Chain A
């Protein structure tokens, strides 16, 4: 049982390049989330999904897109990377709403945009 797996774990991008972060969960969870973590700011929600085929904006969605074509996968895309997107990105999933079930987190992806 792998839980929540993020790919890749590290990446360096040049400004303007694009990339996709993959999140996969094997717990049949309905809810999936993408957060970014910056020093002193905790985790901020980028986008989330309440089920296959659905996505919604979180607190800091600008510059990111997401897709949930399969229940077990949640993809985060950066179409044109900017240095401000240098951060650690976390994916999480939960069976139902976070408050009524534990949210499981991936190990994070450290992204540097130069």
Chain B
């Protein structure tokens, strides 16, 4: 069974600074997808960024970028120029390309200090 581990329960960052969230996963599959979801206090789950395992190029969405290391099974999220609105829980998630079960990590709470 696939597992997703987020080793940082909480991270704090100064506004306008950069923070990196770590995520590791365990799988024997070669074709899969990885995601980062943001969950603000409103509880709404929002897709931040998606990475296809067959793509070597790291995905980027505005201030959010990932460092995908397939051999190491690592998928970290970098938030640049942090803003107060970035404060939220962030979840890493894994999906096997032929599957339907989206597996989540335990989450990392990001605090942004003004």
Contact = CB atoms under 8 A, between A and B. Distances in A.
Interface of A: 31, 33, 40-45, 48, 50, 56, 58-59, 88, 90, 92, 97-100, 102-103, 105, 107-108
B62 interface: no
Given A58-B101, A99-B97, A107 B42 contact: yes
Given A99-B32, A103-B47, A50 B106 contact: no
A42 B101 contact: no
Interface residues of B, number: 26
B27 to A, nearest CB: 13
B25 interface: no
Contact of B102 (A33, A56, A100, A108): A33
Contacts of A90: 45
Given A92-B45, A98-B95, A45 B102 contact: yes
A42 B4 contact: yes
A58 B104 CA distance: 13
Contacts of B107: 40, 42
Contact of A45 (B4, B47, B101, B106): B101
Interface in B87-108: 91, 93, 95-97, 99-107
A108 B43 contact: yes
Nearest to B32: A99
B103 to A, nearest CB: 8
A88 B43 contact: yes
